[in-house]
Structure 1
């Protein structure tokens, strides 16, 4: 490429990055809609091959996605709400244990003053908040009611997700062709090859990793429920979602599970069983879920995954966390091609 072309491409990339940074507060419904459209497009293509029109195929896929997500939320949110209310039982027990056992140990071996933590003030504050909280729905309504604009913005964002998903799904194939035709003719073949590789990586991550997180959440929650842990669903779901970062899920799960189990059972055998649940979950993830659902196409090192998520969150907030790993996977494909180009260049030889 000439120097002018390189400057144009660099300027386009910089402007795009700047726009993403400035528009991040309104990007959430578009990113979620794009994710849902990307996941539903293969099914819509399959229905088209069976003789359906594109519009009918999109309507069927959209209806199935709506039913699945609506049913999942209607089932999960009330259960998580009950789990959060159970936390009220553990807060006084935890504070009592800190006051009677942990604090004397710290005072004796570290020289800290006994009233340094101000446990009485913490307990009064927590008790007041918990008594006023009521239910999860009450907390949500009360917090949203403090700012009408926040409520309106949330409703608009949620309402935009199905609209964006439907229209992106309807025009997905045409959009791909239009993006491809933006490239000069002599580069379209290479661009299409790289797009196919990026699609393999993204499909392996988005579809595969979401299934792994769902399976791990199910395994953790079921196993902890069989042990008898009251907070089984909450701990299991949090550990499953945290598994998007390598090894973070079991670390959080074991920590939260053992803490809740200690104050519920006060016995070593249930604690060993809780740890066993997460060990079994890790074995299933390593030898069953990840090889079967993800494979080795994404190829991101664990340290790269952690850095990508932290960098995305630092640069673009929650939006950056959502797009961090897919963007890192695409960058990995581009760097691989750049590396091959460098190895074939005169500079390397």
Structure 2
């Protein structure tokens, strides 16, 4: 049953991403349409601009990212061996010292041994999971070729889809549903587009900072940091972990500078960029945000964490409206 659900979700991924991209690009197309440009021609203009940006990035950045991935795959076994040797030496060193403790401290011996094993397994498993996630993400790119085509039709026939969805609804609920969806769009629109701008800032500034510090795989880490920054609370930590690991493997003294770099970037992002670009909060309590992230991550992985806050906002606005209607009855 689980495999069937996972397979169905894989099939739906292109449609989900197409809907998201159509939602993000719709304001640009609407703006062009308001200036007298036909909707189809406006979509083509937006596509040409996006293709131009993608081509520039492809010729200037993608080859470097591809080379970094190739290098990463080549050196990963070496890194794993270094980490294993590091934890193994630590284990031997502490084991020798702990064995000299009196019998009364047997519990302390067991705790230290268990924690060393746990830390070692956690770090190694985290690196393996991160590597597998990156490889799987890029291996699925080919399956998403259909996304631009679906996005085009969602943008082109936006009013047709809206009308059909509207007619599917029972008449007594149509006005209420339109009101709720407009409120959701008002709250989420600026938040999502702002988050993308902030993510771009974090990704670019992280890459530049790591290049200055001469940390290996700066482009890959910057890409991870930018994408992860969309995830509240956990995102900056997820983005910093690969940088700290690679800095430590290269030269332990670099770790402090990497931590300072990420701290400075996060302070600028949270104190200056986000308030101006994203605007006010979506109105969710931190506990609700964290719970949403945990639920989304446990069921749908990274994608679930990325969509957790928007989905939580939709649920919040919808439930508040329903409660308000029930109170009036």
Q: TM-score, normalised by structure 2?
A: 0.75
Aligned match of 1:199:
185
Render the CA deviation track for 1:41-84: whole Å, top value 9, x for unaligned.
Answer: 11111111111111111211222233334544554443333333
Matches within 5 A, 1:79-94: 79-87=64-72, 88=75, 90-94=79-83
1:259–1:317 distance in 2 versus 1, CA, 3 Å:
closer
Q: Which of residues 244, 248, 252 in structure 2 aligns to 1:262?
A: 248
Q: Which of residues 218, 235, 238 in structure 2 aligns to 1:232?
A: 218
Aligned match of 1:105:
93
Gaps of 5+ in 2: 99-108, 121-133
Gaps of 5+ in 1: 1-18, 120-135, 145-150
Whole-Å separation in 1 of the counterparts to 2:198 and 2:209: 16
CA RMSD of aligned residues (A): 3.5
Aligned match of 2:18:
33
Whole-Å separation in 2 of the counterparts to 1:275 and 1:314: 28
Whole-Å separation in 1 of the counterparts to 2:299 and 2:260: 38
Aligned match of 1:54:
39
1:216–1:318 distance in 2 versus 1, CA, 3 Å:
closer
2:208 corresponds to 1:222: yes
How many residues were matched structurally? Answer: 293
Aligned match of 2:233:
247
Whole-Å separation in 1 of the counterparts to 2:52 and 2:284: 33
Render the CA deviation track for 1:94-144: whole Å, top value 9, x for unaligned.
Answer: 333333x4222342344659xx99x9xxxxxxxxxxxxxxxx9xx89xx98
Q: Which of residues 332, 336, 339 in structure 1 aligns to 2:320?
A: 336
Q: Which of residues 22, 29, 41 in structure 2 aligns to 1:44?
A: 29
Whole-Å separation in 1 of the counterparts to 2:323 and 2:243: 45
Whole-Å separation in 2 of the counterparts to 1:20 and 1:199: 29
Whole-Å separation in 2 of the counterparts to 1:266 and 1:23: 45
Render the CA deviation track for 1:210-235: whole Å, top value 9, x for unaligned.
Answer: 22222111121211222221232222
Q: Determine if contact 1:245/1:306 at 8 Å carries over to the other structure.
A: no
Deviation, structure 1 residue 171? 0.8
Q: Which of residues 51, 59, 73 in structure 2 aligns to 1:66?
A: 51
Q: Determine if contact 1:201/1:330 at 8 Å carries over to the other structure.
A: no
Aligned match of 2:257:
273
